[in-house]
Amino acid sequence: MVGSHKKLKKVIVSVLLIIGAIFAGFPVLWMLACSFKTTAKIFSWPPKLFDESFNFQSYVKVLTDPQKMRFFLNSYIVVGCVVVFTLIIGIFAAYAFSRFKFPGKGLLNSLIISVQAIPPIVLLIPYLSMIVAMKLFNTYYALILTYTITTLPYCILMMTGYFNSLSKELDEAVMIDGGSRMRALWQVLVPISIPGMVSVGMYTFMNAWNEYLFALVLTKTTEMRTVPIGINLLMGQHVWDWSQMMAMSVVGSVPVLVLFLFFQKYFIAGMSSGGVKG
C-alpha cells in the first residue's frame, strides 16, 4: 500500500514537471521557430512550428545592421561594468556585515532588505530628475549607476550569507601569520566563494541585460539604446517586423544561455550556499 502511494506520488510529480517544462519551454521554441520564418508565414493558418525551408534573412539583417549591433555593444558595456562594480562593492559590504559588529548594523541590514520590496516604477520620476540634474541623462553612467544600485542589495545579502557559512578561523589563521584582513578576504575567502560570486554575477547580468523601464527612460538617442529597447523599436506605427524581433530576441538570449550552461554548477551551489545563514 505504501509502495503504491509512493509510485503514484512520483507519477504526479513527473506529470506536473512535464507540464511545467512545456509551459516554460514552448514559448522559447516558438520564438526560435518564428525567427526562421517570414512575418507572413508566422501568421499563416494553420500555424506550423517549423516551415519546410528555413529563412535566415532576419538573422542576416540583424547581424549586418550597424545600429542593431550598437544595441548589443551598449548592453555589453553597461552589463559588464555593472557586474564588476556590483561584485566588488558587494564583496566589501558583505564582508563587513559578516565579520564586524558596528552601530546600526541591524537597521542597515533591514533597510537593505526592505529596499528590495520597493517597485522601481515608484522611484522612476524622482530618479530621472536626479539623473538630469547630475547631467548623466543619455549616458552609460546613468544606466551603470542605476543597475548597480538595483542589484547591489541582493548581492550583499547573498554574499553575506555565503561569508557567514565560512568559518572565521580562516581569517584568524591569515592574521596570525601576519596577514591583513584584506589579504584574508582576497586570498582566502574570495577564492572559496567563487560559487557565490558566480551566482550573484549571473543574477546581476540577467537583470541588467533584460531591464527595460530605466533603459527606456534614461536614454534618448538610438546610439545609447540597449537590446530590449532595440527590440521594441522594431514595432512600428503600422508594421511590426515579427521575424526580426524574434531573431533579435534569440541573439539577445544567447549570452544568458551560454553563461548558464558554463556556470550552472557554480550557480546552483552558490544559490544554495548563500542561504545557509543570514
In a domain, 2, yes or no: no
Quote the CA–CA distance of 249 and 211 in Å, as a whole number: 14
Whole-model pTM above 0.95? no
In a domain, 64, yes or no: yes
The pLDDT-based confidence of 24 (bands split at 50, 70, 90) is confident
**What does the DSSP 8-state code read for residue 235?**
B
Greater confidence (91 vs 104) lies with 91
Contact predicate 87/162, CB 8 Å: no
Task: Of 119, 141, 142, 115, give the one whose Cα is nearest residue 129.
Answer: 142
Which pLDDT score, from 0 to 100, does residue 50 have? Answer: 74
Here the cell at position 201 is 554575477
Quote the CA–CA distance of 115 and 36 in Å, as a whole number: 42
Which pLDDT score, from 0 to 100, does residue 87 have? Answer: 92
Mean pLDDT value across residues 96-104? 85
Question: Residue holding cell 601576519?
Answer: 178
In a domain, 215, yes or no: yes
Give the bridge partners for 235, in sequence order: 240
Mapped onto helix, strand or coil, the DSSP state of residue 278 is: coil
Which pLDDT score, from 0 to 100, does residue 276 have? Answer: 44
Quote the CA–CA distance of 54 and 133 in Å, as a whole number: 50
Task: Of 178, 223, 234, give the one whose Cα is nearest residue 61.
Answer: 234
Quote the CA–CA distance of 259 and 164 in Å, as a whole number: 27
Domain assignment of residue 150, given as a range? 56-273
Which pLDDT score, from 0 to 100, does residue 25 have? Answer: 82
Question: Residue holding cell 556585515?
Answer: 97
What sign for the dihedral angle of Cα 264, 256, 148, 128?
A: negative
Q: DSSP characters for 177-210?
A: TT--HHHHIIIIIHHHTHHHHHHHHHHHHHHHHH
In a domain, 264, yes or no: yes
Which pLDDT score, from 0 to 100, does residue 141 have? Answer: 93
pLDDT surpassing 60 at residue 103: yes
Here the cell at position 237 is 506605427
In a domain, 129, yes or no: yes
Least confident of 85-99, 157-171, 200-214: 157-171
pLDDT surpassing 70 at residue 277: no
In a domain, 214, yes or no: yes
pLDDT averaged over every residue in the chain: 82
In a domain, 136, yes or no: yes
What is the number of structural domains in the chain?
A: 1
Contact predicate 33/49, CB 8 Å: yes
The pLDDT-based confidence of 274 (bands split at 50, 70, 90) is very low
Report the CATH number that the domain containing residue 163 is assigned in CATH: 1.10.3720.10
Exposure of 149 by Cβ count < 10 A (0-12 exposed, 13-18 middle, 19+ buried)? middle
Mean pLDDT value across residues 20-42? 80
CA 227 distance to own-chain centroid: 14
Mapped onto helix, strand or coil, the DSSP state of residue 35 is: coil
Name the helix (H) or strand (E) containing 55. none
